[in-house]
Amino acid sequence: MENFSMVNPVKIIFGEGMIKEVANEIPKGSKVLITYGGGSIKKNGVYDQVVKAIDGFEWYEFSGIEPNPHYETCMKAVALIKEKSIDFLLAVGGGSVLDATKFIAAAACFEDGDPWLILSKHAEVKKALPFGDVITLPATGSEMNSGAVITKAETQEKLAFGSPFTFPKFSVLDPTTTYSMPPRQIGNGVVDAFVHVMEQYLTYNEGDSLLQDNMAEAIVKTLVADGPKALKTPENYGVRANLMWASTWALNGWIAAGVPEDWATHMIGHELTAFYGLDHGQTLAIVLPGVMTVLKEQKSKKITRLGREVFGINDNDATNRTIKAVENFFESVGVKTHLSDYGLGDEAIEKVVSRLSQRGWKLGECENITADVVREILTLRK
């Protein structure tokens, strides 16, 4: 196991009916800005619960945060914060609303130029406004990590940042808020959480981080067992609770402690979203089987372990069968796994390869996924 230090300060408030607890978590006298997306929270009753909970606070709202949130939209919220002297943010929605709110919180306090520098040049975040959230879509783990991914629409760039100041103060996880998710988002969420685990598990190491490996497999087994059930029985509380908690665990830092991490699937996927607008989960379902195939030798011990522990595969062709099992699982939750399923082909591959080549990034846990290797990965996924 590698050396590590870690901290996760997020207070989790879990369960049906817990949205009212936000009133006890936001410091008294705060001027609150509720941030949300395109209106799903108004249709499923979450907005009403939140508004009731913050009765007594001076509050404002900022809506219209899009999936794969835009820097341009976030900066409008920053202007509102300055105009109204807001001092606490409450994000209500999916990962996009949470990520946008993290960036807004940092950008509102950024004094070293254009806040886009936080993403483009890793400019240091020295402070951020405090914020909490009510998460309504289990997938990203954003509710219990300090990371965020923001898109600059003008230049079609989708980039990530993280800082010790952008952990939520608290996150409310009420599984009943997820009953209203469309099937497409259920599938996307399951794939995203699954791939988060893979980015931290499916590397060259095997056997010397047993606790992390066992924890990673427990998360994935939960997703494999209950992902398809959420599609069949959307209002099954137990299933939704399991998916919500598993998604949080998939990216809250614990299974990353002391192990190498990959993240190539995410980095390649971000480009497909930036250029073509595919959902985050869709891009991962395309790319991961390609990464597993091309990096098969480097990752072989972990791929066979995944096959054995999660999919019950135990034979001579375990590596290939496990890769196929992963692809089949993504398809089973309704997420298509080939570029052609989304009308993309060679042109898209070259666009992504050329972008990554310009950046000079070498991806993966061994930093051996060059632009040419990305071409090989995506060509397999046509």
List of residues contacting ligand NZQ (CB under 6 A): 37-41, 44, 67-68, 93-97, 99, 136-137, 139-142, 145, 147-149, 177-178, 180-181, 185, 188-189, 192, 251, 266, 280
Least separation in angstroms between residue 146's CB and Zn ion is 15
Question: Quick check: 106 and 150 in contact, CB under 8 A?
Answer: no
Q: Which residue number, 192 or 327, has a Cβ lying nearer to Zn ion? A: 192
Rounded to 10°, the helix 280-294/318-332 angle is 170
Least separation in angstroms between residue 377's CB and ligand NZQ is 18
Please report which residue ranges of 54-147 form alpha helices under DSSP H: 71-84, 95-107, 116-120
Least separation in angstroms between residue 29's CB and ligand NZQ is 29
- Give the CA dihedral 61, 95, 228, 328, nearest 10 degrees: 150
End-to-end CA, the chain: 37
Binding part of the chain for Zn ion, among 186-194, 237-245, 303-311, 361-369 by CB under 5 A, reads 186-194
With CB under 5 to 8 Å by kind, the binding choice for 299 among Zn ion, ligand NZQ, none is none
Say whether 129 sits in a helix, a strand or coil: coil
- For residues 24 and 362, what is the distance between their CA atoms, to the nearest angstrom? 46
Q: Which residue number, 142 or 177, has a Cβ lying nearer to Zn ion? A: 142
With CB under 5 to 8 Å by kind, the binding choice for 228 among Zn ion, ligand NZQ, none is none
Hey, how many other C-beta atoms are within 10 angstroms of the C-beta on 94? 28
Rg (CA), the chain: 20
With CB under 5 to 8 Å by kind, the binding choice for 101 among ligand NZQ, Zn ion, none is none
Among 99, 133, 143, 192, binds Zn ion (CB under 5 A): 192
Q: Which residue number, 234 or 345, has a Cβ lying nearer to ligand NZQ? A: 234
Least separation in angstroms between residue 126's CB and ligand NZQ is 20
Least separation in angstroms between residue 210's CB and ligand NZQ is 25
Give me 304's structure tokens: 């066979």
Written as one letter, the residue type at 189 is G
Give the bridge partners for 12, in sequence order: 171
Question: Quick check: 148 and 125 in contact, CB under 8 A?
Answer: no
Q: Which residue number, 113 or 182, has a Cβ lying nearer to ligand NZQ? A: 182
Q: Which of residues 114-133 bind Zn ion (CB under 5 A)?
A: none
Binding part of the chain for Zn ion, among 76-84, 190-198, 206-214, 346-354 by CB under 5 A, reads 190-198
Question: Quick check: 161 and 118 in contact, CB under 8 A?
Answer: yes
Question: Quick check: 223 and 246 in contact, CB under 8 A?
Answer: yes
Q: Which residue number, 274 or 313, has a Cβ lying nearer to ligand NZQ? A: 274
With CB under 5 to 8 Å by kind, the binding choice for 320 among Zn ion, ligand NZQ, none is none
Q: Which residue number, 68 or 322, has a Cβ lying nearer to ligand NZQ? A: 68
Contacts of 249 (CB under 8 A, 6+ apart): 141, 215, 219, 255
Question: Quick check: 337 and 331 in contact, CB under 8 A?
Answer: yes
Binding part of the chain for Zn ion, among 25-33, 152-160, 189-197, 309-317 by CB under 5 A, reads 189-197
Least separation in angstroms between residue 18's CB and Zn ion is 25
Least separation in angstroms between residue 140's CB and Zn ion is 6
Least separation in angstroms between residue 196's CB and Zn ion is 6
- For residues 142 and 6, what is the distance between their CA atoms, to the nearest angstrom? 17
Q: Which residue number, 140 or 304, has a Cβ lying nearer to ligand NZQ? A: 140
Hey, how many other C-beta atoms are within 10 angstroms of the C-beta on 64? 14
Q: How many residues does the chain have?
A: 382
Q: Which residue number, 19 or 143, has a Cβ lying nearer to Zn ion? A: 143
